[in-house]
Structure 1
Amino acid sequence: MATTLKVTAADISLYHVAAAQLGDATQWWRIAQLNGMTDPDLSGFATPVTLVLPTVDASQDSGVPGVAS
């Protein structure tokens, strides 16, 4: 079963969500990719939106694919 989380504009951005849920703000793109999003900004979410969260992946050390840390 996939992990889900409800977010609103109060959550500010996927950077904040990734930091809290995955332990690495730079992994925001993984949440975006799973949910068909391209922008980390959540300010437009007036009502709660459910996001699917990826599993924690420690191998994503730099957070961004194709970018070495």
Structure 2
Amino acid sequence: MATTIRVTAADVSLYHVAAARLGDATQWWRIAQLNGMADPDLSGCATPVMLVLPTVDPSQDSGVPGVAS
């Protein structure tokens, strides 16, 4: 089940949100997809921002899909 949270300028980016809420900063793209965002930087957003978070999914590989390391 998805959760909605309120983020502020102190959250800086979706990397920070993903690390704190999903336990993996590289999962920022999952939050971005759910919220129609393309950029992990939150500095351009008027705060506070309401974001829908995906559920924590331990089966998700780290990283951005389609990008090889």
Settle same-fold status: TM greater than 0.5: yes
8 Å contact 1:62–1:68 — kept in the other structure?
A: no
Per-residue deviation, 1:63: 3.0
The alignment partner of 2:20 has SS state of helix
| Alignment CA distance shift 1:51-1:16 (3 Å) | same
Amino acid at match of 1:66: G
Runs (4+) of structure 1 exceeding 2 A deviation are: 66-69
Aligned positions of 1:1-69 closer than 5 A: 2-67=2-67
How many residue pairs align between the two structures?
69
The alignment partner of 2:5 has SS state of strand
Unaligned segments of structure 1, at least 5 residues: none
Alignment RMSD (CA, Å): 1.7
For residues 5-47 of structure 1, give each alpha carbon's deviation from its aligned partner in whole angstroms, at most 9, with x where no partner exists. Answer: 1112211000000000000000000000000000000112332
Unaligned segments of structure 2, at least 5 residues: none
Q: Percent identity?
A: 88
TM-score by length of 2: 0.86
